[in-house]
Structure formats: structure tokens, C-alpha cells
Amino acid sequence: MNRIYLIPAAALLAVTAYSCMRADAVTSMPVRKYTDLDRVRIDASIPSQEKEYEGFRVSFNKDNGTPNWVAWELLGSETDGPVKRSNKFRQDPDVEGCPTTDDYRHSGFDRGHLCPAADQKWSKQAMEDCFFLTNIAPQNNSLNTGAWNTLEGKERQWARRDSAIMIIAGPIYEATDTQRIGANGVRVPGAFFKVLAAPYATPPRGIAFVYPNMASPGNMENYSMSIRELEQITGYDFLYALPDSIEEIVESSASFREWNRRN
């Protein structure tokens, strides 16, 4: 069943209507979409090479050997599909500083996806793209297979509930995060963040999460915060393309219970 997003009347001037007809998606559905939600403003001093892949956009940091951020819109119709997991991690030769698989070998860290493979089952190309090492950062196995994986599963549930959500993920580095792995010196982050936004929900809402790069037990609500609080931690400007009235609501709210409701 095709679904149309209902957008507040005050925001209609800022919305571009178009049909989301991805060639090998499981289903196609008309979408009303704010433009440039998959872009993040960061300080000009931070190394950044942006690249748009089939299902996501990356800002890659050649000095760290990891992304600054990865952003994608997840439709409810994209949370499942016929494409099997690729597992073919590889270097992107078009991106300066992209590491190789050898950098992660015997490092003690997982090749942690920022945009997860399970979000890309709708497209063979998107699945292959998400295994580029531009979408990867060194992640503690207990986090990768534990709390981070649990959050990714929740995101797919929420995308099905809301028809579409915007997700932005990335590593967080402090000055004390000096550990590097491999011949290319891939920097190990001390934590990871997630931004979730449902700008088409009624009312619109948003939430953010920060997990330390280690086992993170307990309720995921303990790791939640507002997007505005995360902006203060990272110095990034998320969702700046939203109309101010919508951005204020999305970035200031942080109710995990509201996010986790069934409908």
C-alpha cells in the first residue's frame, strides 16, 4: 500500500515533492521530502570528503581514516528485501585516506558499520556500497554485537511505524583518543553517536544517542539525549535544512518513551 506523508502546512514551502522510485527497491512509494537532510555542517578545519553512495552519504576524514558522519533516509519499505548481506569489505580508491581491510586485521576491533547492511536489503548496489571502508570505524565487538546492534533493530521498527526516518551516525573523538590501528593508522573513536529524526510525523520528533566504544549495558534510554545536546558535544549542525519551526521541535525533544511507542 502506497503511503503519502502528511507535512505541517507551515512547512510546505520548504518541501520538495517527488516520487521515490528506486530501481531495485522492494516497493516504491511517493514521498514528500525535505531536501539536504543528509548533509551536516561541520567546522571547515575538519578534513572532509563527501561522497554520495546508493543508499547513504558520507563525509570522510582522511586524517582519522573514518567517516565524520554517515547520513541516510530509511523508508519503511526498505527495512526488508531480497538482497543478501555482502560481507565484501573493501577500500574506496576514490576517497583519500580510505583504509584497507588489512588495517583492521588482528586489530582487536570489529569493522563497525555506520550505515548498517540490514538497512540496504532493498538494493544490491546499496548493499555493496555499505561495505566500503568509508562507512566503517573501529568498534568494540561488545558494542557492535550488543547495544549498537539493538539500536539498529529499533531504527527499522521505527521506520516501519513512521514510514520514513532520517538517520545520521558517526564516531566521536576526544583529544585522548590516540589509539590507531593498521599501517594506515585508523584512529579508534572513544564513542559513537546516532541522530534520529521523524520530521514527517505528527508531531515531528527527534532523538540522539551516544554510546561509549565498549560494552554498553542497560536500557538504551540511558544513552539518549536531545539532538541539540549532541550538537554541543560534536560541534556539528544537524538537520539545518529543516524549517526553523520544525527544527526547533525535532532538536529540542528527547523523549525516549515517545520514540519507542508502538504507534
Nearest to residue 113, comparing CAs of 178, 161, 58? 58
Q: Is the peptide bond before 203 cis (omega within 30 degrees of 0)?
A: yes
Q: Report the distance separating Cα 190 and Cα 102, nearest Å.
A: 22
Amino acid at 190: G
| Helix ranges restricted to H, the chain | 124-129, 141-144, 147-162, 227-234, 244-252, 256-259
Q: Measuring CA to CA, which residue among 227, 230, 222, 173 is closest to residue 196?
A: 227
Which residues form the catalytic set?
113
